[in-house]
């Protein structure tokens, strides 16, 4: 009797061992994420999956909350987010002084003259800041 129970238990467990049905936690996109847009923690949900996606390494949600991640390409809704799909941008902070006033912004300097400074921000918009304080 004990032997029959042992054989049934082994027959039940063998397919799980052979086919490697390990359960892993996978980050899935809640909504469509555009190219070079910031990925927030509320844009990602975690699910337990048996099947493997095409990712070698998944995005860690703890790191997502600590760092600013941006998408390398368009990520469709309900798709797994891989570590290769995202990047951490370089810190492109610009400091410039106007007398006693010091301004720090993220972006790159496009043009600087005696009257104004043009700055291109991370989202692609160009801001023109006059040195005399006018808009």
pLDDT value at residue 8? 58
Structure confidence by residue, pLDDT tens digits, 74-128: 999 988 898 899 998 877 788 877 777 787 888 888 998 888 889 888 788 898 8
Domains for the chain: give ranges and CATH numbers: 29-89 (3.90.1210), 93-130 (no CATH)
Structure confidence by residue, pLDDT tens digits, 9-56: 555 555 555 455 566 788 899 999 999 899 988 889 988 877 666 788
Q: How far apart are CA 55 and CA 57, in angstroms?
A: 5
Closest CA to 131 of 121, 123, 111, 120: 111
pTM of the model: 0.55
Instruction: Confirm if 89 and 107 have CB atoms less than 8 A apart.
Output: no
């Amino acid at each position: 009797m004990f032997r029959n129970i042992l054989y049934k238990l082994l027959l039940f467990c063998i397919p799980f061992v052979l086919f490697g049905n390990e359960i892993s936690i996978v980050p899935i996109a809640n909504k469509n994420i555009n190219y070079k847009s910031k990925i927030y923690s509320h844009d990602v949900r975690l699910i337990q999956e048996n099947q493997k996606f095409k990712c070698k390494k998944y995005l860690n949600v703890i790191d997502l909350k600590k760092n600013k991640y941006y998408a390398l390409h368009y990520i469709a809704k309900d798709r797994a987010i891989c570590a290769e799909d995202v990047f951490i941008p370089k810190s492109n902070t610009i400091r410039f002084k106007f007398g006693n006033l010091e301004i720090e912004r993220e972006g790159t300097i496009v043009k600087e003259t005696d009257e104004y400074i043009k700055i291109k921000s991370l989202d692609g918009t160009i801001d023109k800041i006059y040195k005399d304080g006018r808009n």
